[in-house]
């Protein structure tokens, strides 16, 4: 032993204590001996000094050695105490040992007794130091285990749990660590693995670490948990033991299972998306949405509402939802808010959300708008049932449905438009038939008789009649052209705009007017329709701009299209606003159908026509949306 030992020697004979100190110092340098003549002084020294061992006589004034020993054990139970007395008996020795004495030593008249006494003191102090070191290490170990960020347990050779930290108690489903003490370690070992205990014994007996790969075990609540364990040998309270460190994989496994479930749900939702896309009616879509919400997303309480005349109309509900009632959009709570804003909502507790207004005792809510068509809602009676993953899946399902519902609505509108157009075309056909047969035939007869009359008679009245007949013929031709133009063109070819313009110029009575055409790529158009469009524009320019008007046809620089403009008198802003309307004309006797035919021909190609003022003050017609070959 290298350190100095503080020895307290208590004896009522100072000469004897001096003699004892002298003999011990001759043999050993490691001792510092402190003397006391009675128990009271000894207790005082113990309180004020650092004492490593006490040697005391039995017969002391006021308080004997055993009583003194008991006082010492109350204050400092770890200090070695040796009863060193000249008088005594086996009864005193037994009483001293029972009271906690480390040793009992008789005074004898031999020189070696001091060496023997010193050795016994050294042994007692060494043993006490060893116990202190073990105790300190055990305390340090307990602290390390307690502060470890993972579940840790200590198990003895009987497979009994001796110590656990808070993380282990949490994993085990226990409220406190003490609930696990003295329990068998089996609950933390791999379930249904007969070799687990033998592997644990290998650690305890052979001091060889082992590992348990990912395995399942049951906690105190009967829940299945997942973990991975490492078992290493340790010494605990001076005994062989094993330390089990558990990596809790339960949440990781749950995340894996959720990810797998989510993947399966997304796959199934995409499959349902194909079924939804093939739906022929809105009602079929609503039914598929609710069925998928129940079957795939496990939503037992869900509903699909459409919005009609600012009211929610129930279209489909899950089998378990029976309390829902339709309501005006302004009183529909979060469903109305979601529809108006276009935003989805995830509500953990409807009682804390002022806009929810649930019908029935529903706490958790998912609300997803379906565009301008309606709203989907899922509810649950418990708080916090849904999370962001549930919302994303619902939005995926509703997205498929919304696309199909929009398509069905568009198809319904197109069918209505086609039906209306068929009716209009039928009426136009009837009108064209009347014009071409019932009006043109009498008109031809009138024109022939007028020519005969003008050969026989010379009268200004006949000239006026001739002008009226010509106007009737022009009006009839334009009405027939307008009625027979039909719908959108189906066949288009590459046409040179300059060539077709020049051909049309030859078909119009242009007088002294001129036309110029810019070079450009061919455009895709139906030739007959394009000719009708250009001829009417050229005729309009000459009629309104004068016989010396100049007409320019060219291509737009900042858009896909072309223009037709002149340098004539132009139009006022108010006239331009009405000029493209059917039946509007600024000339007496004008039919008002010429520009209407231009608009109809442009729309048949899918072009947009606008009327503006040219740079020279005349009229400028621009056609955009034109495709080039």
Q: What is the DSSP string of 263-275?
A: HHHHHHHHHHHHH
Question: What does the alpha-carbon distance between residue 18 and residue 121 come to, in Å, rounded to a whole number?
Answer: 17
DSSP 439: I
* Helix ranges restricted to H, 106-210: 113-147, 166-171, 195-206
pLDDT recorded at residue 67: 92
Question: What does the alpha-carbon distance between residue 91 and residue 100 come to, in Å, rounded to a whole number?
Answer: 14
327 CB contacts (<8 Å, ≥6 apart)? 311, 312
617 dihedral zone (left: phi>0; alpha: psi -120 to 50; beta): left
pLDDT < 50 stretches in the chain: 583-584, 586, 588-591
CATH of domain 485-624: 3.30.565.10
Q: Are strands 53-56 and 81-85 parallel, antiparallel or unpaired?
A: parallel
Question: What does the alpha-carbon distance between residue 8 and residue 49 come to, in Å, rounded to a whole number?
Answer: 9
For residue 64, the tally of other CB atoms under 10 A from its CB is: 17
Cα diameter, the chain: 186
238 dihedral zone (left: phi>0; alpha: psi -120 to 50; beta): left
pLDDT recorded at residue 583: 45
Question: What does the alpha-carbon distance between residue 532 and residue 489 come to, in Å, rounded to a whole number?
Answer: 13
Q: Are strands 103-106 and 224-236 parallel, antiparallel or unpaired?
A: unpaired
Judge contact between 625 and 607, C-beta under 8 A: yes
Residue 311 φ/ψ, nearest 5 degrees: -135, 145
CATH of domain 271-402: 3.30.450.40
Burial of 623 per CB tally in 10 Å (0-12, 13-18, 19+): buried
Question: What does the alpha-carbon distance between residue 81 and residue 99 come to, in Å, rounded to a whole number?
Answer: 10
Question: What does the alpha-carbon distance between residue 83 and residue 106 come to, in Å, rounded to a whole number?
Answer: 8
Judge contact between 218 and 191, C-beta under 8 A: yes
Please give the CATH superfamily to which domain 5-132 belongs.
Response regulator (3.40.50.2300)
Question: What does the alpha-carbon distance between residue 605 and residue 526 come to, in Å, rounded to a whole number?
Answer: 8
* Helix ranges restricted to H, 310-371: 334-341
Radius of gyration of the chain (CA): 55
CATH of domain 148-248: 3.30.450.20
Nearest to 309 by CA among 289, 324, 294, 329: 329
Judge contact between 180 and 169, C-beta under 8 A: yes
Residue 563 φ/ψ, nearest 5 degrees: -135, 160
Task: Please state the length of the chain.
Answer: 629
């Amino acid at each position: 032993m290298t350190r100095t030992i503080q020895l307290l020697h208590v004896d009522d004979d100072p000469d004897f204590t001096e003699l004892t100190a002298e003999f011990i110092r001759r043999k050993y340098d490691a001792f510092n001996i402190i003397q006391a003549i009675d128990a009271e002084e000894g207790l005082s020294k113990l309180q004020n000094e650092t004492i490593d061992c006490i040697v005391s006589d039995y017969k002391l004034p006021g308080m004997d050695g055993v009583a003194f020993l008991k006082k010492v054990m109350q204050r400092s139970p770890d200090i070695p105490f040796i009863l060193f007395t000249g008088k005594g008996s086996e009864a005193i020795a037994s009483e001293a040992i029972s009271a906690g004495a480390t040793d009992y030593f008789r005074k004898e008249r031999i020189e070696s007794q001091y060496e023997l006494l010193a050795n016994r003191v050294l042994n007692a102090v060494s043993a006490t130091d060893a116990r202190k070191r073990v105790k300190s290490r055990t305390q340090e170990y307990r602290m390390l285990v307690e502060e470890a960020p993972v579940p840790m347990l200590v198990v003895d050779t009987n497979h009994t749990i001796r110590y656990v930290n808070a993380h282990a108690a949490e994993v085990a489903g226990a409220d406190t660590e003490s609930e696990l003490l003295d329990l068998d370690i089996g609950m933390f070992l791999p379930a249904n693995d007969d070799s687990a205990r033998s592997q644990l014994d290998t650690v305890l007996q052979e001091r060889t670490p082992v590992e348990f790969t990912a395995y399942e075990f049951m906690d105190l609540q009967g829940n299945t948990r997942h973990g991975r364990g490492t078992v290493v040998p340790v010494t605990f309270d001076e005994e062989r033991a094993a330390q089990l460190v558990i990596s809790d994989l339960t949440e990781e496994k749950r995340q894996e299972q959720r990810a797998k479930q989510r993947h399966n749900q997304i796959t199934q939702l995409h499959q349902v998306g194909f079924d939804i896309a093939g739906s022929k009616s809105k009602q079929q879509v609503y039914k598929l949405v609710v069925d998928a919400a129940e079957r795939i997303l496990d939503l037992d309480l869900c509903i699909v509402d459409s919005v009609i005349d600012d009211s929610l109309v129930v279209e489909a509900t899950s089998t378990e939802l029976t309390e829902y009632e339709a309501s005006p959009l302004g009183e529909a709570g979060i469903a109305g808010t979601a529809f108006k804003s276009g935003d989805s909502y995830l509500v953990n507790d409807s009682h804390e959300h002022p806009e929810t207004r649930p019908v029935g005792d529903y706490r958790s809510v998912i609300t997803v708008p379906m565009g301008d068509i309606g709203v989907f809602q899922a509810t649950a009676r418990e708080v916090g049932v849904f999370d962001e993953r549930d919302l994303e899946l619902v939005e995926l399902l509703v997205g498929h449905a919304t696309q199909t519902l929009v398509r069905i609505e568009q198809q319904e509108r197109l069918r209505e438009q086609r039906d209306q157009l068929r009716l209009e075309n039928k009426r136009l056909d009837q009108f064209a038939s009347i014009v071409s047969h019932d009006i043109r035939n009498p008109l031809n007869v009138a024109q022939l008789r007028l020519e005969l009359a003008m050969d026989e008679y010379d009268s200004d009245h006949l000239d006026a009649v001739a002008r009226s007949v010509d106007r009737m013929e022009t009006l009839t031709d334009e009405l027939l052209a307008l009625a027979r133009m039909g719908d959108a063109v189906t066949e288009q070819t590459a046409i040179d705009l300059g060539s077709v313009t020049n051909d049309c110029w030859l078909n119009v009575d242009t007088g002294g007017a001129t036309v110029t055409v810019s070079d450009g790529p061919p455009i895709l158009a139906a030739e007959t329709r394009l000719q009708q469009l250009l001829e009417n524009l050229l005729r309009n320019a000459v009629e309104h701009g004068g016989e010396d008007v100049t007409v320019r046809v060219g291509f737009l620089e900042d858009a896909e299209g072309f223009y037709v403009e002149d340098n004539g008198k132009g139009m006022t802003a108010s006239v331009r606003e009405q000029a493209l309307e059917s039946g509007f004309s600024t000339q007496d006797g004008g039919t008002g159908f010429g520009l209407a035919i231009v608009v109809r021909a442009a729309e048949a190609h899918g072009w947009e026509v606008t009327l503006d003022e040219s740079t020279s003050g005349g009229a400028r017609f621009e056609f955009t949306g034109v495709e080039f070959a």
